[in-house]
Chain A
Amino acid sequence: MAEKEFWRWPEYRHTTPGINWREGKVISAGVDIGSVSSKTAIMVDGEMFAQSAMRTGSSSPDSAERTMNWALEDTGMTLKDIHYIVGTGYGRVNVPFAHKAITEIACHARGANYVWGPTVRTVLDMGGQDCKAIRCDERGKVQNFLMNDKCAAGTGRGMEVFADLLSVPIEEVGELSFTVDEEPPPVSSTCVVFAKSEAVGMLRSGWSKEKVLAAYCRAMAHRVVDLLNRVGVEKDFVITGGIAKNIGIVQRIEKELGIKALKPDKWRSDPRFDPMLAGAMGAALFAKALYERSKGQG
């Protein structure tokens, strides 16, 4: 029997019920090829219609095709029906069918504006291998952004490594990290490889895995709060990217900042608002704007 892969987050596709895409005027799509996950958002007249999220493979063009085809599955729509496609994310220049590539920083701000509305001013994108703090206006246009050269610590990939090390399914990490009597001091290493060996030492000295998770979540939160404080946090504040689904990180960031994130659980009741797809959604909205402009309607 194959060993359970605790790091493996659920890949999924979803179609919004009740939309007849054939009646849509503009069908646009965003394809976000990240270092860890690949996402597609297909919109009909600027509303989410179909989406998928899956693991990025070794080839960006293949990953782009797989996530797009999966999003299209069972919709009756084909690639040819989509008027305009924007690629974004680390692999944005390797989306073979994209008409244009746009940086994920602009796409996450625009996507956050779609998911949470025009009151969003600060977006923290916690991706697979890096984090970006973004300030935007009421239209979701970037005013200021900040990234740094820190590597995979404090990101999705780091969380995968810890889930695997501690044999905890990655979706349960957040909840489990709160089942400690007392919040432990954060893991001190900024490098995932060192943090992992630090965690092994903690386990050996008798720490429970819950306590180690708490220490790691706290370290991740602390690291991104530095980034946020430099860019300046103005409300409303939201978190995008896969880590936005980890309550253990989200609540620790809120606590350290002293500011609550806007409706971090919106996606649980409605998958259209999955924060992991914010970049793909922003790309789809830019695609719509670019198509309309090319037709002289914008």
Chain B
Amino acid sequence: MMKANYGYADGSGQYYITLDTDKCDGCGDCVRACPASVLEIVPNEFDIIDGGDIMSVREEHRKKLKYSCAPCKPTTGGGEPPCVTACPHGAITHFLSSAKGQVM
């Protein structure tokens, strides 16, 4: 089992988008659901022999997730972000790990 964690922090706290690569089959539903085009489907470079394809956060978004994910982040009141609800396998989580003021 392999878990990828992409973090971002803004004024409200520290957030993570995580992917369980064992559950991800690279279907791309999350990619189509993301309004900011943050995600993509790429070959699983963590298992080069028989990894198949998996979801990944695009390189160009990795240092600006706090802006890219701001409209849907889990504390906006809109419930689970679209990337999470779109995944038919429950492979993605997107959560606030510590609110501002707690240890990051």
Q: Is A4 an interface residue (CB 8 A)?
A: no
- Pairwise interchain contact B62-A147, C-beta atoms closer than 8 A: yes
Q: Is A141 an interface residue (CB 8 A)?
A: yes
The listed residue with most B CB atoms (<10 A of its CB), out of A90, A149, A298, is A149
Flag B37-58 by CB within 8 Å of A: 1 or 0 each. Answer: 0000000011111000000000
- Pairwise interchain contact B65-A230, C-beta atoms closer than 8 A: no
Q: How many A-B residue pairs have CB under 8 A?
A: 62
Report the bound CA distance from A241 to B6 in whole Å: 20
- Pairwise interchain contact A144-B3, C-beta atoms closer than 8 A: yes
Which stretch (A99-107, A200-208, A209-217) binds chain B? A99-107
Q: Is A176 an interface residue (CB 8 A)?
A: no
Flag B60-78 by CB within 8 Å of A: 1 or 0 each. Answer: 0011111000000000000
Closest A residue, CB atoms, query B6: A147
Interface residue range, chain A:
20 to 34
CB distance from A147 to the nearest CB of B (A): 6
Q: What is the interface of chain A mostly: helix, strand, loop, or mixed?
A: mixed
CB distance from A240 to the nearest CB of B (A): 17
Flag A3-15 by CB within 8 Å of B: 1 or 0 each. Answer: 0000000000000
- Interface residue ranges, A against B (CB under 8 Å): 90, 100-103, 105-106, 130, 141-151, 226-227, 230-231, 286, 289-290, 293, 298
- Interface residue ranges, B against A (CB under 8 Å): 1-9, 14, 16, 45-49, 59, 62-66, 97, 103-104
